[in-house]
Chains A and B, each alone.
Chain A
């Protein structure tokens, strides 16, 4: 049997039991590789459960900088007997299956096209430690030590990371380093180290950082000037508010009084959470909520009110798979339609699609400017994959000269000079009218906010013409919005082509990787990453310029495609779908396969590894 050979290009997956402390050990592994100058992309695949169920951690290492899911596993490290039958099946031919052989592998699971490496992790821990919790925790650290030997990871990088991690809890440093050494020694003594798959220090990381999208969003809200956060816990959005809370405690305490320059309300449900945001925004504060699919459904009524009453409202939706528990801790992009047309009546909502932590930060802060400028809800759509996994990202920056765009708000002096104020009067033709904040002026500018049934001066009326006029103005505003939201990012193929891919959010990395493969296959593709809804005019032009556009997304119903068809009144032929909705991030191989299947004249061979050579891990 031939063993896979690769330096700095591979996929390793860890199979653990949740609640056993594996996350921090796995994280240590990924970060060590990152510190060796290699791009990494770690992804958690976890159950809706607190303790005892299988959980996986997949790390893509790619010196070439491919950060999406590739598909396939080259090294499986399994310490979970429960998932072993499935785990070993996933390994690529020629790959490695590393497992805890305290209890030897069931012979029926054996594969002779995979390199099997047994390390008696449990036995080693039992011999070394008395305390059951220590036995469990250090078992994870020991396998990271063993991997250091097997993959040739710089041991000093690992010890440096341990020292950083336990700064202030110095007593923990030595025991952790000792556990790393135990694993390292065992591997050195028992195996031919390093393996065919290994790492070598490089310089491909630059000034990038490793950060999860939710933390970046929380920071975006801090920098964007949010003062009120209202939320109801739901995975995978909870860590957005956690991050806001954590950084607010550090950065938002008034130095003079020790009091908080922010308020976080844990609401009784998502209806209340969005109601609080609407109330705070109506009253002139920057406010946000974070939620996921079920919460978005509950918020729908208020989103309609905010649309019609034109109240700046910021909502971060971290998408996940459908209802109930279980699959919902897996990723998807399946709220697109319910967000875009959220609520009763004729509504259209503004969506932003970030695809990196840096964009989560930028768009997160931008949401508040846009919400106030455009006086409408801004729904930032991320997903579990981006939100809860560490992603390599350009560093976060802030222009200190930047001022918040509070949009059209009248102050007391401006009101004083006015003849008559009209809340819904479009004075400058862009469909956006002037707001007033309660309490501004003793007798000017007050009005009664309601969803519909008022004229341009906010006086109650049930006249149909007034309703219609207002709805037309909202459409004029919709046109204005297209000029304000982030523009799409286009990548042209060097070869001329009439075929393109179009994607958004976390499908970016895999899509661009698949595009490279497809170019090798003889299918050159232009690419567009859409970053907002309403679609800017460039999106229409791009689609018009191509014969065929593959819309790549992570849901069943081709939701963005539906939105494109509806907004541009396109027939069904032009836009093809490439979809993934099994709860895993879409992989480059999957995209390649689906595109080839739909290309005229191409026959796809079933997924099978074709080449097993260093640096060229690409297979069909």
Chain B
């Protein structure tokens, strides 16, 4: 079925510096199950983009296949989108990003899409430090194919079908850290207060920014015994700290309580205000991040929040020294060497 949003806008809705209301960042009406975590994440993306006053048409949203990968239809209706093939969104973003470095690339994937069929592409996009935001809507199961266990399901966790999963889980933030990721965060679809600033920070980060968002599947994996249910995550989530994101254009006006706080200026001038709760984690030290993840996992806790960030990250274009002009804007004049050069080449082949 197809849906179009009604065009009517209430005149009093708050507008951002571009004059856009939040509705300008919304998409078609969702066809996901009522209560699906994925919809909350879509909402957080809408809020983050609206509050950052991003131009919607300068964002490209790409996904693989799955309920999660359908989600981009339900946000950013003014942005180009690409629902590609199962597990291969990272390669499509890689090519798209090479073609035009000036757009913001927002990749949306599921845990099946990323941790199983797309594991290879995910790993390689991480190690290339492709400049993109990569959001995994992680429900520990394959929603769209009716609830099979995925590779992020915890050992012993049981979905609605009832059989405990016998295999060990792939922890995407831990894996990404090991692969050299330059921005790693985890959040929960039910915690917008944490998720929205994390998305903003990921957008401002130059390089690959992973946000693993636990996003319960209400239809197949929200039962007692599942470690990806709303209840379980609420009980076991432990935040690294609170994160507040202040865009470059705004002054820092909020006052923070004294304590373990830190302001970090990002490359585009925005400021991340971190208030640490986990005393053992230094989010600017990879080893510390890896240790903290392992420790919390061993204690049965889910560590959420900003886990690691490399402030001096260099993205793939920096490394490859590609033109600062988007490659897709170059013309014959820039690209075609002409017949004279060919004549010389011919001469060398005789």
A contact residues vs B (CB 8 Å cutoff): 34-35, 207-211, 219, 222-223, 225, 227-228, 230, 251-252, 254, 257-263, 265, 267-269, 271-285, 287, 301-302, 305, 395-400, 402-404, 436-443, 446-451, 455, 459-462
The answer to whether A283 touches B72, judged by C-beta atoms less than 8 angstroms apart, is: no
Contact with A along B292-333 (1 / 0, CB 8 A): 000000000000000000000000000011111001101110
Provide the B327-346 mask, 1 if CB < 8 A to any CB of A, else 0. 11011101111110111011
Known: A227-B330, A228-B327, A261-B327. A280 touches B73 (CB 8 A): no
24 contacts between A and B (CB under 8 A): A223-B337, A227-B98, A251-B337, A259-B321, A262-B322, A268-B120, A268-B124, A275-B92, A279-B91, A279-B92, A282-B96, A284-B99, A284-B328, A285-B99, A395-B343, A396-B346, A397-B342, A438-B79, A438-B80, A439-B60, A439-B103, A446-B56, A450-B82, A461-B2
Contact in complex: A257, B95 (CB < 8 Å):
no
CB < 8 Å: which of A260, A261, A273, A283 contacts B96?
A: A283
The answer to whether the Cβ of B282 comes within 8 Å of any Cβ in the partner chain is no
Q: Pick the contact of A260 from B28, B94, B320 — CB < 8 Å?
A: B320
Q: Does B55 contact A (CB under 8 A)?
A: yes
Q: B4: CB under 8 A from chain A? A: yes
**Given the known A-B contacts A260-B322, A439-B58, A449-B80, are A210 and B350 also in contact in the complex, defined by CB atoms under 8 Å?**
yes
Flag whether B84 is at the interface (Cβ < 8 A).
yes
With A263-B322, A284-B328, A404-B332 in contact, do A35 and B350 touch (Cβ < 8 Å)?
A: yes
Which residue from chain A places its CB closest to the CB of B124 in the assembled complex?
Answer: A268
User: Which single member of A209, A262, A284, A285 contacts B350 (CB below 8 Å)?
Assistant: A209
Asked if B102 and A443 make an inter-chain contact with CB atoms under 8 angstroms apart, the answer reads: no
Interface residues on chain B, number (Cβ under 8 Å): 63
- Contact indicator A287/B95 (Cβ below 8 Å): yes
Min CB distance, A284 to chain B, in Å? 4
Q: Does B342 lie within 8 Å of A302, measured CB to CB?
A: no
- Determine if B57 is an interface residue (Cβ-Cβ < 8 Å): yes
Complex alpha-carbon distance, A278 and B128, angstroms: 18
Interface string of B205-230 (1 = CB under 8 A from A): 00000000000000000000000000
B100 contacts A276, CB within 8 Å? no
**B residues near A223, Cβ cutoff 8 Å:** 336-337, 342
Cβ–Cβ contact B336 & A280, under 8 A: no
A285-B325 Cα distance, complex, nearest whole Å: 12
| Given the contacts A223-B337, A302-B88, A448-B81, A275 and B121 also touching, CB distance less than 8 Å | yes
Chain A interface mostly:
loop
A439 and B97 CA atoms in complex are apart in Å by: 12
Indicate if the CB atoms of A230 and B337 lie closer than 8 Å: no
Could you say which of B80, B88, B345 contacts A275, with CB atoms under 8 Å apart?
A: B88
Query: In chain A, what residue has the closest Cβ to B100?
Result: A283
Q: Which 3 A-B pairs have the closest CB atoms?
A: A275-B91, A279-B95, A285-B99
With CB as the reference atom, state the residue of chain B lying closest to A212.
Answer: B349
Q: Which residues of chain A are within 8 angstroms of B92 by Cβ–Cβ distance?
A: 275-276, 278-279, 282
* Contact among B98, B103, B323 for A259, CB-based, below 8 A: B323
- Can you list, as one digit per residue, whether each of B91-120 has a CB less than 8 Å from chain A (1) or not (0)? 111111111101100000000000000001
CB of A569 to closest CB in B, whole Å: 33
Asked if B236 is at the interface (CB within 8 A of a chain A CB), the reply is no
A257 & B323 in contact (Cβ 8 Å cutoff): yes
B94 touches A276 (CB 8 A): yes
Please, which residues of chain B bring their CB within 8 A of the CB of A35?
350
Q: Other than A302-B85, A397-B339, give 7 A-B pairs with Cβ distance below 8 A.
A: A254-B334, A260-B323, A272-B88, A276-B95, A280-B96, A438-B79, A439-B80
Min C-beta distance of B342 to chain A, whole Å = 5
| Contact flag A400-B99 (CB < 8 Å), given A210-B349, A446-B57 | no
B1 on interface, CB distance cutoff 8 Å: yes
Q: Is the CB of A272 within 8 A of B94?
A: yes
Q: Verify if B78 is at the interface (C-beta below 8 Å from A).
A: yes
